Amino acid sequence: MGRGLRFLPLAGVLLVAGCERAIVESETHLEDVVAVRVYDGTTKVAELTRPSPLSAWGAWTSSVSLRVGTTRRLEVRFVTDEGEEINVADTDDYELRVQSTNTAVLGAGVVVRQVELRGNQAGTAAVIFQVWHEGHPDLEVPGLAVAVTP
């Protein structure tokens, strides 16, 4: 017989493929985020939405302000298309990072479970929220405008 591929008929064979890591019920997934909500205590101060996880982001509903020489702590929650609010600081899989677009005006960092904004000098800047997973950003949202007043 000549060389070539031979196919053997197999009956009753079940192939199972899966992820390298098992998915457990408590694992958080941020692929379906459709909103970002920013809270000062229990008061929602700004929100950013999009119609679906694959859509472009809309505009923030408002901006945030603080005075020069002061700090303001905010909580950031990500909302899935199923309505689940997630504070990334409560998960083991993700890390919240923030970045100021103008560090001369606004300092930004994550302290414990909250974002801390510092008014360095009068002016405007934006704070960008990023969710990191396994060494890279999984999600980055447009900057929230921040006014620093004298």
**Predicted local distance difference test score (pLDDT) of residue 31:** 77
**Predicted local distance difference test score (pLDDT) of residue 92:** 84
Whole-prediction pTM = 0.79
**Predicted local distance difference test score (pLDDT) of residue 2:** 53
Domain range list for the chain: 33-149
Please check the confidence at residue 27 and state whether its pLDDT lies above 90: no
Could you tell me which residues come within 8 angstroms of residue 119 by beta carbon, excluding any fewer than 6 positions away?
A: 66, 67, 68, 69, 70, 71, 72, 105, 106, 148, 149
Does domain 33-149 fall into CATH 4.10.640.10?
A: no
**Predicted local distance difference test score (pLDDT) of residue 7:** 43
Residues 39/45/46/47 CA torsion (nearest 10 deg): 60
**Predicted local distance difference test score (pLDDT) of residue 93:** 85
